Structure 1
Amino acid sequence: MRRLLQSILGVLLSAHLGIPSLADQNLSNLICIGQSCYLASWTSKRHNKAESYCSDQGGHLMAVRSSVEAEVVEMLLGKSVDTVASVWIGLELKHALCTDVSQPLRGFQWVTGESDTNYSKWKSNDTKCGKLCVVVHRDLSWEEVLCNTKSDGQLCEISYSASCKPISLPQGYDIVYNTPVGMADPGIPFLPPDTKADIPSANLSLVCGDPGDGEMKWTSKEYGAWNCMIENGGCSFICNGDIGESKCECHQNMNLSDDGRGCIPLPSSLQCIPDQSTGTCVCAKGFTPAEDGRTCQDIDDCALIPDLCEQSCTNTEGSFMCTCFDGYEMVDEQCKDINECESSDTLPCEHICENFSGGHKCVCWEGFTVDEKDPKKCKQFCNSTICPAYCGNKCSCPDGYVMETEDESNLQCRDIDECESRFCKDLCENLPGSYNCYCPEGFILEKDTSCSPAGGSGEGITPTSFQPLKPTPSGDEHSVQQPIMAFGICVGILSIIIVLIAIICHLVRKHHKDQAALDCKNPEKGLVLQQVNSTSSKKL
């Protein structure tokens, strides 16, 4: 494994790639290998603060379990200034115990909870006790120190589920990688998700991410292909950049995905089967070859064949569907009228139901009209000054009418003349059950039923037009027993008044009797009064 890491790093840093040696580079403090990145920070902190710093970066203090990871430590320390002598790694001694020099980790545990390792390099064999943590020196040796002391820095380890490989660029192109934890070298072997790659010479910015196919790759927020010489333009299959702008193309029976770079298989119905003799595209029933000659497209049967359906035709993929208008149902591939007056479980109309082709209407008995708020119901209607009252369990009149009860055997509803009550401030026209407020010519009707000159500052309801208003007097229902009820109410009120007067008189009379008894029968009252008079005379 050690040789493998050395080989990888050697290739990346060789002169054949045009990358200067390790000592000559202005390297960042980040190294990524596989799906882990290692970050060095040269800020002095105590162990707990160092662990918090790594946690904020999405990782933890570095675990150095192998010689490969030890070489990563060597490379990171090689990027530091000479004043950096030691940095924290992720080892700590729990419960302030003493070290056991016979064990590889001497009783320490990694901050992740494990205690396994294939590598260790302790500076001394002395036994130490207390709340101890571990630093690594420039010579890669490990030393136990108190956790509350400050080191010169810390090494963080950040793991990812996947990563992107560096972008292969044509000669003359430069690139800058900006990872979620800082800048990275152009020669870095792996880059974590959400790394941004800027290529100024191509005016291109790419991001390491998953476009939705489960594979981590370089992608762009822009639609379609970019420069075909860089990552194949982002295309899954073919990037065509010979003429004009670069564009992605897919193999036969595949279509471009929503980003214009990926390719997705066509549904089997849209796939083209080449004819073995002619090589032309053969499509399934209900489909025809598309203009590209490689795929199939649906035939719109409804548009192609007039009167294909009796009433309504809906095109579907590879076929069509006939449907019926509202009020009809499909019976033996024909549209038949639905008789709503007979087929409904509940009566569709309050009075009379009349069926017609494609629908029905509600009709009311004489003296009633359809309620505009609920067309299934009927309400009383009178189109003259006097109409007979409608009597069921009780007798009632339409809106705007009052019941005449002089002849209980022949109850009549008489129209209320709202104009006599001056509901209109100007001109008024009485109507059966209602009235109109209107204005003379040259005036407009206001909301308060007054009239103002046309063209004035007032905002009329409508210019010089009759404005029907709902009648305000009540009278939607009148009972035959109304006079008796009114008389009973009056008698009740009068009785209450008489009782209240009697109670008041009784209380006044009782008060006078109590006062007289106090004046005549209480001898102390006189003495007290005499004493007051005597005292008063002395003061005088």
Structure 2
Amino acid sequence: MTMIILMSIIVLLSFKAECGMKQAGICRLVCTGGDCITVNQDRVDFRAAEAACRDRSGELLTLRPETDESILHTLSQELSGNFWIGLRLPTGACSNLSSPLRGYEWISGSTLSFIPSPDTWRHSTEVCFPHCVSLSNDQKWTERLCSEETDGYLCRTQHKDACLAQELSDPTVFQSSKGCSTGPCEHKCTDVKGGYKCSCSSGYIPDSKDPRRCKMHCDKSRCPKICDGAVCSCPDGYIIDKDFCEDIDECGNGRCDHGCKNTLGDFECTCSEGFVLEGKYQCIEAKDRESFFTTTPVSLYSTKPAADNTLKTSPATAGGFLWVWVVAAVAVVVLIFVVRFYVVRRQKRREQSPAPVDNNEC
């Protein structure tokens, strides 16, 4: 009876997989030698996928020329849908269709990377930041907005227990048989089942680059300064004012070409309609290309999702111009009819008027 139930479950899961039904959070490991890739089925955007890989001591997949032909073939049998890989356009840049990587850069910083063939790219349309790349089971690369949610993401890792670590309920838990005995955390360490987790003292948060370490943080415009003996300091973007850290208004320094929005510990430059942000501060003309974005934050990793500010022609404006022309045309036609009516009426009056009498006639 147990065997029958087990076989039924296996058949049901296989049926779901064949029908494209995905379960969030599923992780599968693909290894070649000591190098492993996790296939993560979880609908997230590019930023969340990058953070998830980093939290598991890995990184979004960077393809390498010497080994990844075989890995791509293996992955194509594991994928069902589109999965983020570690390629994104630099801030303010547009794709270059004549370049093998089209101007995209690997988030790992690698320059000796796998070079795709021209037909690897699914589309041949120029796009601009913020766009990232996903890989599908037919080995095609698709350029899409980094804010989109794909079917999952691919992480490269050296840990063969990466999927096991991902199954732990608390995302801040690090798997380890030694727990806190090796002092892995910068501030506080707590032993938990299967590993340990790190936490930070007041005024600090986990560092996104390494959650085991902590960095100063202030979520308000004014926070108490942090002192270690006689040395006091503030988070980035803040300045000491007596016993407090005050947020610096970077917009008062005129760094941005057009608009500027001050944020806690940072700032964002924005551009007027018809312009696109290049780098952090400069606005350049968009040259009427719809793929440009007129408002772009300084960092891709803003806490608020970037809005789709694609430069588009306003339908309301276009409609307004159309009505102006229609009204003008109607007015001209009416004027012509009025003038014609007046002329015809005047001519008829002249024809109906009696001829003048000649008094000099005998």
Q: State the TM bucket, normalised to the shorter chain.
A: 0.3 to 0.5
> What's the TM-score, normalizing by structure 2?
0.35
What's the TM-score once normalised by structure 1's chain length? 0.24
User: Relative contact order (C-alpha < 8 Å, sep 6+): which is higher?
Assistant: 2
